[in-house]
Amino acid sequence: MKVNTLPLLLWGILMAGPVGGFPSMAISSEIGQLPVPDQPRAEELSNLGSGLLKDTTSGTSLSGVLESPTGNWIEFDGQDVAASNSGGNWDDNLRFAIDLSSRYVVLTHGKKDFSQQFIGIDLHKVLVGPDGDWGTFIFQGYLTRINNQERHPAAFESDNDWEMVYRIWNLNYTALADGEMNFKLGRFEIPYGLEHDIDTNGHLLDYLSLRNLGLKPDWGATINGILPHWQYEIGLSRGTGIEYTQRNDPYIVSGRISTPAEGILVMGLSGFHGRVANAGAVANVRAGLADPAELGAVGSIVRRTRFGLDAAWYTASQFALLGEVSVGRDYRQDVVNGLVELDWNSQDETVLLYLQGRFFNQRFTSGWDDAFATRLGVRYNPDNHWDFSAQYIQNISAFRAAPHDAAVAFQIRYRY
């Protein structure tokens, strides 16, 4: 087990403030997926725990079965401790939750079942001075356990291991331009696609970021804001996922602009470019899917570009229709990936049913290959504390005619 100490710098900035301190320092009211090998020919079953499971033969990613230990945005189920902006105590308007969850995954085709446990803290603060709100601080740290996990990221040293994983940890400075231009520093969700707006953190349900980009959150900085008819975020990040340090100079430039997330019809445009720390690049070379002479593979770095369009339509009934498509390249290999999802919510919003289809296409050295997988899931939230969910994933087709694997995942989660 290793603990990354570099993020402590962010905490120091928060507590020290600018020279002379923050005005009155009044504070008020806010395993996938780890950066996973891309393995385009080998990734729909391999990403089975949101990237914690890698299978170099299956081809299409089951990354959403286990939502990544480095998942995306935060949902706080606890109650506000206070509602006044005038207080100077740390617990003023603090939204805080202890998050405990356990997941078990049953695999087919002779693969070993495995499980994960998470013990975490979700914390959200809006920082306030005499002139009003000046920032938002979010911390989400999880002590993560994997059991019998044969395919796991390098951050885990064995099939049975503990690791401290920071899902989100950032400070967003909001004192400029009435929220139309903010500056974020720390660990944040990559601004790309449906996953940027929709909370999948701590749930089995997720979208394309892990398989399409190779990671969800990353270390870096963004400019973000909400305008009358648009919202946006543009980021520069390290390109390494869990750990900040990485050889061979990875980096990511990413961004998304969309209509307001609260709308009935939400549409977004995204872009992504950089050198991503993704061991799948090496696996593809070894499998003969990528030519090292042509692609210039260096270590575990993949040169990746994506342009994406996403949309979510929340109908007047209890149904919703969501979709996302991305085009781009991994090195010189063309890529087209996409997703379609149909949701049904009960009237009291305690039950969610969803059916999802995912397709992946890539032009390898031998020509185009494709993979397709479906997901059927249910989530039941009887109150603000308990969360029960299950998901079935079936590979309909896979890269290199790999076996049509399937998996069933179960999760119990409790927050208080």
Residue pair 312/322 in contact (Cβ under 8 Å)? The answer is yes
Count of C-beta atoms within a 10 Å radius of residue 235: 22
Closest Cα to residue 243, out of 66, 34, 64, 8?
Answer: 34
d(CA 185, CA 220): 6
pLDDT at position 284, please?
A: 66
Count CA atoms closer than 13 A to 3's CA, side-chain side: 6
Residue pair 206/217 in contact (Cβ under 8 Å)? The answer is no
Q: What is the pLDDT along the chain (416 residues), one digit of tens a residue?
A: 544 544 444 544 454 444 334 333 332 323 333 333 334 433 443 444 444 333 333 333 343 344 344 333 333 344 443 334 444 566 677 899 999 999 999 998 778 899 999 999 999 999 988 888 899 999 999 999 999 888 776 677 788 899 898 999 999 999 998 899 999 999 999 999 999 999 888 889 999 998 899 889 999 999 999 999 999 999 999 988 777 766 778 899 999 999 999 899 999 999 999 998 876 666 665 666 766 665 555 567 888 999 999 999 999 889 999 999 999 998 888 999 999 999 999 999 999 999 999 999 998 878 888 999 999 999 999 999 999 999 999 999 888 777 788 999 999 999 99
Residue pair 189/52 in contact (Cβ under 8 Å)? The answer is no
pLDDT at position 149, please?
A: 84
Gyration radius from the chain CA atoms: 21
pLDDT at position 90, please?
A: 66
Closest Cα to residue 37, out of 278, 241, 218?
Answer: 278
User: At which residue do the structure tokens 């900040």 appear?
Assistant: 244
pLDDT at position 317, please?
A: 87
Q: Chain-centre distance of CA 339, in angstroms?
A: 16
pLDDT at position 19, please?
A: 35
Q: 3-class DSSP state for residue 294?
A: helix
Angle, CA of 270, 276 and 277, to the nearest 5°: 145
What is the second-level CATH architecture of the domain 8-415?
A: Beta Barrel (2.40)
Residue pair 203/320 in contact (Cβ under 8 Å)? The answer is no
pLDDT at position 37, please?
A: 35
pLDDT at position 86, please?
A: 46
Q: Name the pairing type of β-strands 114-129 and 132-147.
A: antiparallel
Q: Chain-centre distance of CA 242, in angstroms?
A: 11
pLDDT at position 341, please?
A: 98
